[in-house]
Amino acid sequence: MDCRESALLVSVLLLALDLCSAQNYVLSDDGGLGRVFDGIGGLSGGGATSRLLVSYAEPYRSQILDFLFKPNFGASLHILKVEIGGDAQTTGKVHLVTLHF
């Protein structure tokens, strides 16, 4: 590398350093701190792709709950949203439902 290339490289690096140091990041909580972290969640939907928890025998039910919600183990979910269907029996399989009248 000759002297001109070295000088050009130094100039580019100094310019980049100058541009980086000129930027300021201002953090203000005047309007509040924003949204609160509620936790990590999952979604179970579609009826045909999932079974209700009550249809699993013990100890499988407890193991599933541990894999989903136990802290520092498995998914460690905070929230699980489960879709409740209309009990139309639209699939080829019989699924347990939450409530029968």
Share of the chain above pLDDT 70, in %: 59
pLDDT of residue 85: 58
Q: Which amino acid is at 2?
A: D
Residue 98 DSSP class: S
Structural domain including 79 reads: 39-86
Q: Is residue 77 part of a domain?
A: yes
Where would I find the beta strands (DSSP E) of 1-101? 41-44, 79-82
- Report residue 13 CA to chain centroid gap: 39
> How many domains would you assign to the chain?
1
The letter for the amino acid at 31 is: G
pTM: 0.40
- Which pLDDT band, with edges at 50, 70 and 90, does 101 fall under? very low
Q: Is residue 100 part of a domain?
A: no
Provide the 10 A C-beta neighbour count for residue 61: 13
